Chains A and B, each alone.
Chain A
Amino acid sequence: MTRRTPVLAALLVVVGAAVVASEGGDETPTVRSGDAQPGVHMPAAPPGDVVASTWYCAAGTAGAGGFADHTVVVFNPGDEPVDGTITVYAGALDRRTPDEEADGASDDQEGSEARGQERSSDDTSDDTSADDAERSSDETSDDTSADDAERSSDETSDDTSGDDAGAGAGGGGGGIIGSPWEGSGGEAPAPVVDDLSLPPGGRVDVRLADLIDAPLAAALVEAAGPVVVEHQVEGPKGRDVGACASTAAPEWHLAWGATTRDARELLVLFNPFPSAATVDIVLTTDDGIRQPVRYQGLPVPGGGVVGLDVGDDVTRKEQVALSVRTRSGSIVVEQLQQFDGSGRHETRGLAVVLAVPQPLEAWGFATGRLGGGRREQIVVYNPTDERAEVDVSVRPSGGDGREPPPPFGLTIRAGGYEVIDYGEDERVPRDVGHATVVRSRNGVPVVAERVLSFPGSAGDIAAGTGATFADRSWLFATRGSDDDAVAFLVAYNPDRDRPARVSATGYVDGEAVAPDELQDVEVPPGGRAELRFEGDLDTGDLAAVIDSDLPIVVERSLENADGGGQAVGPGILGDEEAVPLADVDVALEPR
């Protein structure tokens, strides 16, 4: 053996070992694409050490005669007083037409204005003739006349107030092309800032119309402590309440909407940031995917609120799903959906729905009941580029030993949606409360929304997305200001094995009250429990905190005294350790 041999051997061994070791260790960790974050993917109370909690309430009106008068409710669930501010931004409807968009932004102001007026008159005549035609076949003339008159009055009032406002849609001083602000050549009303002061357990209701006069008004709530914010809209057709957004996002999705003759879907885009955002909107109807020209590259100025009447571009559709994506910047998107009761299902009411910033794999709805004329639909929308395989499982409560029905299996094409009407399927038991869990089987995330409607003049529609998290604490800033309505909270325990023990605390005028009957309430595995605040606590001033020893889902149900729904939807996540519902081991199949 020469001197060369050990040299070569040693080098070969070292280099070879290094190659093998490094190649073998080159494993790329897998990352779940659908990891959800409380506060981002669902409104959540800020953690206790938060520097400042910020909430965005996008949709509502603040003008005289507005169809969705906007009230913001701020609740301080903490033990320390909290100061903050509410900044109200004025907004208006986007008046552009596809023709205007095609003409481009170089059109002079005068032309814009003229076309806006032309568009307004055209719309009125078209809508009127179409409404008339449909009305003659479907509805009684009296009711229709009244409703139409009311609706016409609402819209005219809204539009007029917007035009009359004579200011730009951008609170930050920017204007959008074709907006009523620009058309009048004026500046948008400056944002109005008001101070807030909340004692521990205290609550403040702020009606935005008291601060600003505008066709649309959005609110930005900032507080130097952990507060939660909900908002309530109220109009001639109904009322609704729901959580405001605790984050802005570059992407938002809505599974449901309707632009039928009796419906009006108003999409509200709120940009609370100083930078302008540019958005693209994709709509899906039974005709397929649509990308209206005027919804592409739509500017939302910094500090601006823009309303889009979806029906202007998507007419006469019972189901419209949509996705809003920004090219730059982040915004908040909410939907105001109104029915005048003149339609085929005599549906009437107003709903405000916060869009969801990201499709997720699992959704939970704690509330549901068929019977008494109620309609319940689950709409599942797949905004991704892949086909989704989805199970919609109904979990009846009652403990009567009945097997839960087999799930609805859905296959949803990319960009498509599916609607399940529980009333049309016998597998969903009547007159028994139930929960619903929507879960993607193939990991493709979806957006699920539930629509409850209560036919009749006393009815009101209730719609909204479900919960995507289970949590040990849930917060409600308001019970709903209608003292005549029946309000209760529904706790659903998604755990398949363990019962949850739930306690509820109500806050009225800053005083915390924990009714004995609402303490340590056991919720069986996969079961539900209704929590009702009685007596003095059953008031519109109520705020509530629900605590549980296991992650659960809690929804608020607000029903008119005669059974018509006003609002149904999950509360606000209260614990930082909220668990994505996709990670909860839920028994979906019948045992």
Chain B
Amino acid sequence: MEPRAGAVLTPPVVVVVVSRDPVVDRFDALLRALADQDYPNFRVLVIDAGSREDATARVADVLPDARVLRLDDDDGYGASANRVLDFVEGAELYVFSHDDVAPEPDALSALVEVAIGYEAGIVGPKLVAWDDPNHLLQVGMASDRIGTALPFVEPGELDQAQHDGLREVFVVPGAFTLVRADLFERIGGFDESVTLLGDDVSLSWRARVAGASVLVTSDATVRHAQALAERCDRRERTRLADRHRLRALLMCTGVPRLVLVLPQAVLVTLGQVVAGLATGRAGRAADAVGAWVWNLQRIRSLLAARRHVASIRRVPDRHIAKAQVRGIIGPRLQLRRLGGEARLAASRPGAHEDDPPAWSPATAFVWVALVAVLAFGSRHLLTRGVPAIGELVPFDDDPGALLAEWASGWRTTGLGSARAAPTAVGVLGILTTLAGGATGLLRTVLTLGMIPLGIVGAHRLLRPAGSRRVQVAAAVAYAAVPLPYNALGAGRWTGLVAYAGAPWLIGRLARAMGAAPFTPGVAGAPGVGSCAPAPWSARQHVVAVGAATALVGLLVPAAPVLLGVVAVGLLLGSVLAADTAGVRRLLAVALGGLVVALALHLPTTLGLLQAPGRIGAWLGVDHRGDGLAALDLLRFDTGALGAAPLGFALVVAAVLPLLVGRSWRLTWSARAWGVAVVAWGLALAAEQGWTGVPLPPTDVLLAPAAAALALAVGLGVAALDADVAGRSSRFGFRRTVSGIAVVALVAAVVPVVAAALDGWWKAPRGDYAGVLGFVEGDLDEVPSRVLWLGDPEVLPGGPGWAWRDDVTYATSLTGLRGVRDLWSGDAAGATPRIAEALDLAVGHRTTRLGRLLGPMGVRYVAVPQRLAPSPYSDEVRPVPAEVTDALGAQLDLEEVRVDEALVLYRNTAFAPVRSLLSDDDGLDVTSVAGVQGVDLTGAFPVLIDRRGQGAAGTLPPEQTLYDATTASERWRLEVGGEVQERATAFGWANAYRTGGGGEAELSYRTSPAYRLVLAVQVGLWALALVVVLRMRFGGEPPTPSLRTRPGAERSPDAHGGRPGRLESPTVGSGAEGPGALGGPAVGPGGDAPPSEAADPELVPTTRSGRPA
């Protein structure tokens, strides 16, 4: 490489130091180093990106001519550095400097010399270690085809001049980088979407695309402290590197080349996912995938950037590719040998070097053991399927029917009603559609998967504690809670889901409080740019909490109550601990989250607001327990697991942090116990019937208590590490109680391990589907209903509508109740007539219950006495004898013996749900009792094919179609294309004349208002999803990703930005205002070439180039 002859040796240079709360010593060293530079024609602009302390005076002391531009916020290194385009006129070269470097006195000269002499676009120095200049850090980097920066220097490599000289590289590592001003402007400056890490790759790549050369000279030596490692852990660095590498690739590669390269990038991502999962770092796998999501979220700015890159392109991709390293495996192996991408980005050894918290062999073993126990205990459920007991309904429903149920505003359960179906019905419709034929797997995941989901939630809950031991302890404690196993054994899906959701809800609210250790990770850390997403605003917390609550609420209608329990518990704990930091924020977020959650279930919420009396039924208040006492609840003894004395072990272990904890460990343990006490209190009130207000099922209420105990146990382990270990060698009170707690935790696990032996978690090994197959067949053949009566604890499909003490009733159009029959709420439409008929029977006022139920399409009356048929369930939950006696005394109910656990009657007087009547005599009878005189036995079934909420088929002329569905004007029968007049039969059902006969369709017309509500609901879910994804992966910045000035080639989208920023820079060093930054304002002169040897001026300009 030959220098250009006759080059001007002292072009004006502006050294741009981007800084935020720098380490004082290093910053002073930088200032002194700049002051010592031997280059004669340069100015220094310090861009202070939102420091808490003003460094103007410090700069002025060392560099009186330097200018300081104070920004209100830290928008990242690139965005801050790009401000040079607004404030500098006349510079020919820029040198972008970090605030943790110290250039040798001749460094600037050497860089300028190479830039001028070789017409280089970008020139970088040799970077050496701050503390030991004999150790090399970087001498430029190569890049592979997908943008992975590859160093030439190994970590710790001694500088023995082996890399000296001038060399062309693909990437100049950001630290002290010279860039030609015109090039910088032309390529749009730094990519402002890149807040930290990877900005150098993007800049260098675009410079090459624009035809500029990128060089590194060893004549310029710069010490580099690599402060990035002090504020970003390795995980964050890796995450940022992945995102920004992918962005650079997508931005700088033309379409033809991208077609070839993108699959390689996908392969690399898959490799990262597999490696992450294989090494137990699921987060790493998530980050790899998240890099794509992050870029997709910024698709608009990415496309704009691509257009800009296309406009500046001088070098085709094939030439660029030649400058890159070939292959993706070799370079990555080399990179791995060197310590990985992130390590190279900040290779300084330190406490944050590894992923915190680290997995130790012990913690990894415990997790493996935990997974093994769960898998072993679930083995038969996994291989033979989860029995359809209680709320664990089969997923046999047609996905289209589920979606129709959700979208129509008509519920088929009971006798039908114009009510909104729960959102879960629609979601499960979508999921079963996506699952295709794998609905069994989906069901298993949505039931059994709740246990590991809850345990992972407990594990993540204590992530801010910074110790894997703490996290694992919390996970183990949560796994030892009997709740999920008891819920599984009793078929209580709501209990399972509440268990899964409780730790996540606590975690969300804890983070919203912001009290240590749940503080935002990078707040206040020194350095420019954030290596983690910005701390969430209260509004974002509200959305997150609301979305989490709404998600839990899909399957647990009482989820808002859970949120309230957690919030009140945290409040109580804060008050007890005399630490109310974040309490106001907690309450605001909880309240806001509640509103968001309710909004996300909009149709249901509106329905409940219209009739608050339904809330009780919606919460499932009829699903009462067994009158458990306080000690039972303390042990979570809601089923087969939880017996004393081992049932108390978990509580004993959770007391530890209260006794030995200090600082935030004590505070948070008080909050955890606050949550537990509130949850226990409500559960106790529910079990003992102390309140007159509706309360959710007990195991739902207990879930927050369980999660809180797990939190307390984790805090206990944290207290062991921080407050007990190493404080004293004496075996005193602290060590004694610590020992007891550890033993208690181990003891708490024993029942779960023992329960795992049977492989079913004590759940019944069969269900009623096996004995009611013929019923399913009958109902398929002739659409009709099954009326279920029984104790809510054993009723398939969960509690139905309250009828009398300990007896609820429900209906199904299939052999077993399905997804559509869940969350039945209160009895709506004509459904209460079923209870009226039953009352007549039990009151000895009729012996023809079959006739009363016949017009309702009830073909079978099923009275389960146990959760599952014999021999799978021993616990008998009989209905009161008066009920069975009354049913047995009915002359038109024929008992069908199927199993001793199930009393089943066939209604000999039933009519199909849609039947043909030769005459309509009797249809004007309106009372339930009066129907006894009407015998519909033998009515001919028609319209057998279901279509959405309605049905279709052929009808004969001049007959009456009877539809055993709650009367509504929105039901319409079309026969031969003609709409038939509807009449109300028996005071509650629909009847139509069949007119001339022919092809007929019975349909329900959804109201426009309901459709609008659904549309709003879908929009809200989409909005929440976007917001949450943005919060998780970061949002698209409102500014364009590349900055250009007038006259430069730019994309149409490159404008915008934040004009207000220019109005408020605080300028130090004697400046009195934006117009007095050290020289006369220069007008729109962006296109004017800088004068040779002229001094650079620091001039504030508007984005359009006009002086401010």
Residues on A facing B (Cβ under 8 Å): 3-4, 6-8, 10-11, 14-15, 18-19, 21-23, 25-26, 37, 39-40, 46-47, 49-52, 54, 220, 222, 224, 246-250, 272-275, 302, 328-330
Checking A21, A52, A272 against B630 with a beta-carbon cut-off of 8 angstroms, the contacting residue is A21
Q: Which residues of B contact A246 (CB under 8 A)?
A: 844
> What distance in Å separates the Cβ of B598 from its nearest Cβ neighbour in chain A?
30
| Interface residue? B143 (CB, 8 A) | no
> What distance in Å separates the Cβ of B62 from its nearest Cβ neighbour in chain A?
48
CB of B894 within 8 A of CB of A273, answer yes
CB of B688 within 8 A of CB of A25, answer yes
Q: Which residues of A contact B687 (CB under 8 A)?
A: 22
Residue of chain A at shortest CB distance from B661: A4
CB under 8 Å from chain A, chain B span 619-672: 627, 629-631, 634, 658-659, 661, 666, 670
Q: Which residues of B contact A47 (CB under 8 A)?
A: 843, 845
| Interface residue? B677 (CB, 8 A) | yes
CB of A26 within 8 A of CB of B888, answer no
CB of A51 within 8 A of CB of B932, answer yes
CB of B895 within 8 A of CB of A52, answer no
| Interface residue? B970 (CB, 8 A) | no
Checking B673, B681, B847, B897 against A54 with a beta-carbon cut-off of 8 angstroms, the contacting residue is B847
CB of B673 within 8 A of CB of A274, answer no
Q: With A18-B684, A274-B906 given, can you name 11 additional A-B contacts, CB distance below 8 Å?
A: A3-B666, A18-B681, A19-B630, A19-B631, A19-B634, A22-B687, A50-B846, A250-B885, A273-B895, A275-B905, A329-B895
| Interface residue? B929 (CB, 8 A) | yes
Checking A10, A224, A274 against B894 with a beta-carbon cut-off of 8 angstroms, the contacting residue is A274
CB of A15 within 8 A of CB of B932, answer no
CB of B673 within 8 A of CB of A7, answer yes
| Interface residue? B577 (CB, 8 A) | yes
CB of A18 within 8 A of CB of B630, answer yes
Q: How far is the CA of A23 from the CA of B629 in the complex (A)?
A: 6
Q: Which residues of B contact A49 (CB under 8 A)?
A: 845, 929
Q: Which residues of B contact A19 (CB under 8 A)?
A: 629-631, 634
Q: Which residues of B contact A18 (CB under 8 A)?
A: 630, 680-681, 684
CB of A7 within 8 A of CB of B888, answer no
> What distance in Å separates the Cβ of B125 from its nearest Cβ neighbour in chain A?
54
28 A-B contacts, Cβ less than 8 Å apart? A4-B661, A7-B576, A8-B658, A11-B576, A14-B681, A15-B634, A19-B630, A19-B634, A23-B631, A26-B627, A40-B844, A46-B844, A49-B929, A51-B846, A51-B930, A52-B846, A52-B847, A54-B847, A222-B891, A249-B885, A250-B888, A273-B888, A273-B891, A274-B893, A274-B906, A275-B895, A329-B888, A330-B885
Checking B688, B930, B933 against A22 with a beta-carbon cut-off of 8 angstroms, the contacting residue is B688
| Interface residue? B113 (CB, 8 A) | no
Checking B670, B840, B885, B933 against A7 with a beta-carbon cut-off of 8 angstroms, the contacting residue is B670
> What distance in Å separates the Cβ of B2 from its nearest Cβ neighbour in chain A?
74
- Beyond A46-B844, A273-B893, A330-B889, is A224–B576 a contact (Cβ under 8 Å)? no
Q: How far is the CA of A13 from the CA of B688 in the complex (A)?
A: 19
Q: Which residues of B contact A222 (CB under 8 A)?
A: 847-848, 891
Q: Which residues of B contact A224 (CB under 8 A)?
A: 932-933
Checking A248, A249, A274 against B908 with a beta-carbon cut-off of 8 angstroms, the contacting residue is A274
CB of B892 within 8 A of CB of A274, answer yes
Binary contact track B575-619/A, C-beta < 8 Å → 1, others 0: 011100000000000000000000000000000000000000000
Q: Which residues of A contact B895 (CB under 8 A)?
A: 273, 275, 328-329
Q: How far is the CA of A168 from the CA of B588 in the complex (A)?
A: 78
CB of A50 within 8 A of CB of B684, answer no
Q: How far is the CA of A7 from the CA of B574 in the complex (A)?
A: 10
> What distance in Å separates the Cβ of B91 from its nearest Cβ neighbour in chain A?
59
> What distance in Å separates the Cβ of A439 from its nearest Cβ neighbour in chain B?
25
CB under 8 Å from chain A, chain B span 883-908: 885, 888-897, 905-906, 908
> What distance in Å separates the Cβ of B47 from its nearest Cβ neighbour in chain A?
45
CB under 8 Å from chain A, chain B span 833-850: 840, 843-848
CB of B844 within 8 A of CB of A247, answer yes
CB of A10 within 8 A of CB of B844, answer no
The 7 A-B pairs of least Cβ separation, nearest first, read: A274-B894, A275-B895, A51-B929, A54-B847, A19-B630, A22-B630, A51-B846
CB of B891 within 8 A of CB of A272, answer yes
CB under 8 Å from chain A, chain B span 535-584: 576-578
> What distance in Å separates the Cβ of B747 from its nearest Cβ neighbour in chain A?
20
Q: Which of A14, A37, A220, A250 has the most CB of B within 10 A?
A: A14
Q: How far is the CA of A588 from the CA of B631 in the complex (A)?
A: 49
- Beyond A15-B634, A51-B840, A248-B888, is A6–B846 a contact (Cβ under 8 Å)? no
Checking A4, A248, A275 against B659 with a beta-carbon cut-off of 8 angstroms, the contacting residue is A4
Q: How far is the CA of A275 from the CA of B903 in the complex (A)?
A: 12
> What distance in Å separates the Cβ of B863 from its nearest Cβ neighbour in chain A?
13
Q: How far is the CA of A22 from the CA of B896 in the complex (A)?
A: 43
Q: Which residues of B contact A329 (CB under 8 A)?
A: 888, 895
Q: Which residues of B contact A15 (CB under 8 A)?
A: 630, 634, 677, 680
Q: How far is the CA of A274 from the CA of B887 in the complex (A)?
A: 12
Residue of chain B at shortest CB distance from A246: B844
Binary contact track B676-699/A, C-beta < 8 Å → 1, others 0: 010011001001100000000000
Q: How far is the CA of A51 from the CA of B849 in the complex (A)?
A: 10
Q: Which residues of B contact A302 (CB under 8 A)?
A: 894
CB of A46 within 8 A of CB of B845, answer yes
Checking B577, B677, B847, B893 against A3 with a beta-carbon cut-off of 8 angstroms, the contacting residue is B577
Checking A3, A23, A50, A273 against B890 with a beta-carbon cut-off of 8 angstroms, the contacting residue is A273
Q: Which residues of B contact A23 (CB under 8 A)?
A: 629-631
- Beyond A7-B658, A39-B844, A224-B933, is A54–B630 a contact (Cβ under 8 Å)? no
> What distance in Å separates the Cβ of A76 from its nearest Cβ neighbour in chain B?
17
Q: How far is the CA of A40 from the CA of B893 in the complex (A)?
A: 19
CB of A274 within 8 A of CB of B629, answer no
Q: How far is the CA of A330 from the CA of B847 in the complex (A)?
A: 12
CB of B844 within 8 A of CB of A330, answer no
Q: Which of B578, B688, B889, B892 has the most CB of A within 10 A?
A: B889
> What distance in Å separates the Cβ of A331 from its nearest Cβ neighbour in chain B?
10
Q: Which residues of B contact A220 (CB under 8 A)?
A: 891
Binary contact track B904-923/A, C-beta < 8 Å → 1, others 0: 01101000000000000000
Q: Which residues of A contact B673 (CB under 8 A)?
A: 7, 11
CB of B629 within 8 A of CB of A26, answer yes
Q: Which residues of B contact A3 (CB under 8 A)?
A: 577-578, 666
Q: How far is the CA of A8 from the CA of B666 in the complex (A)?
A: 11
Binary contact track B846-861/A, C-beta < 8 Å → 1, others 0: 1110001000000000
Q: Which residues of A contact B840 (CB under 8 A)?
A: 51
CB of B630 within 8 A of CB of A4, answer no
Checking A22, A46, A250, A275 against B684 with a beta-carbon cut-off of 8 angstroms, the contacting residue is A22
Q: How far is the CA of A18 from the CA of B845 in the complex (A)?
A: 45
Checking B658, B843, B888 against A4 with a beta-carbon cut-off of 8 angstroms, the contacting residue is B658
Residue of chain A at shortest CB distance from B576: A7
Residue of chain B at shortest CB distance from A330: B888
Q: Which residues of A contact B930 (CB under 8 A)?
A: 51
> What distance in Å separates the Cβ of B469 from its nearest Cβ neighbour in chain A?
23
Q: Which residues of A contact B888 (CB under 8 A)?
A: 248, 250, 273, 329-330
CB of B932 within 8 A of CB of A11, answer no
Q: Which residues of A contact B846 (CB under 8 A)?
A: 50-52, 54
Residue of chain A at shortest CB distance from B579: A3
Q: How far is the CA of A330 from the CA of B885 in the complex (A)?
A: 8
Checking A6, A14, A21, A25 against B578 with a beta-carbon cut-off of 8 angstroms, the contacting residue is A6
Q: How far is the CA of A250 from the CA of B887 in the complex (A)?
A: 12
Q: Which of A51, A250, A329 has the most CB of B within 10 A?
A: A51
> What distance in Å separates the Cβ of B48 from its nearest Cβ neighbour in chain A?
40
Q: Which residues of B contact A272 (CB under 8 A)?
A: 891
Q: Which residues of A contact B578 (CB under 8 A)?
A: 3, 6
Binary contact track B255-277/A, C-beta < 8 Å → 1, others 0: 00000000000000000000000
Q: How far is the CA of A250 from the CA of B680 in the complex (A)?
A: 44
Q: Which residues of A contact B659 (CB under 8 A)?
A: 4, 8
Q: Which residues of B contact A25 (CB under 8 A)?
A: 688
Q: Which residues of B contact A248 (CB under 8 A)?
A: 888-889
